[in-house]
Amino acid sequence: MAKIIHLVRHGHHALLGRVLCGRMRGVELDDLGCEDMARCAGTLSPRPTLIQSSPQRRCMQSACILAAHFRLPVEIAPALDEIDYGEWTGRSFDDLAPDSRWSRWNGRRGTSRPPGGESMRSLQSRIVAHLEQLRSDRNLDIVVAVSHAEPIRAALLHYSRTPLDEFLSIEIDPASTSTLRADNRGMKITGINQRVPA
């Protein structure tokens, strides 16, 4: 029997697009993010059997909004965590722009890594291993996994057989849903970056 895995990006926060937050502490949803996640809950049908979240606060807040809608608990899944940006964590994009390492990272995601951080390949390995574990769990039918843009991108690149260097070919907006359909033959992407209706 097929199962559905919804990959949901956390909602909007005040630093989005300005700061490379990564695993920075204290990043919380703003009012827009909370509103978007409430609308996102209304688009997820049928009812999930499991809601998982990255350990980051913005994801846990997002997952809790979904969980309240469906009256389910939230399970923290470390495999859904944001990529570790190492020394770049918390720096503004304006500050990073002149750094040659930043340019190299954005041009060659398949072979480079942030200084002191995690490679995109390592991120992809952990997120795909987790999704495959969910696929093989016979007790689950519909899973919602609340994560970040990079882990969701990494998973979609894997299942679409797209090289990591082409990571920008997949857009993942806040409070968007990307969907995988899983059966005994593997995973198939059935939706990417489905946005919340305004």
The whole-number average pLDDT for the span 47-76 is 97
| 185, pLDDT greater than 90 | no
**8 Å CB contact between 68 and 50:** no
| 197, pLDDT greater than 90 | no
The whole-number average pLDDT for the span 7-29 is 96
| 198, pLDDT greater than 80 | no
| 4, pLDDT greater than 70 | yes
**8 Å CB contact between 27 and 60:** no
Report percent pLDDT > 70 for the chain: 98
**In CATH, what number is assigned to the domain containing residue 24?**
3.40.50.1240
Per-residue model confidence (pLDDT) at position 183? 82
Within 10 Å of residue 97's Cβ, how many Cβ atoms?
9
Domain that holds residue 61: 3-194
Per-residue model confidence (pLDDT) at position 196? 75
The whole-number average pLDDT for the span 68-79 is 97
What pTM was estimated for this model as a whole? 0.95
The whole-number average pLDDT for the span 91-120 is 95
Helix H, strand E, coil C: the string for 41-94 is: HHHCCCCCCEEEECCCHHHHHHHHHHHHHHCCCEEECHHHCCCCCHHHCCCEHH
Q: How many structural domains is the chain composed of? A: 1
Q: What is the H or E stretch that residue 36 is in?
A: helix 31-43
Per-residue model confidence (pLDDT) at position 2? 63
DSSP string, 91-151: -BHHHHTT-HHHHHHHH-TTT---TTS--HHHHHHHHHHHHHHHHH-TT-SEEEEEE-HHH
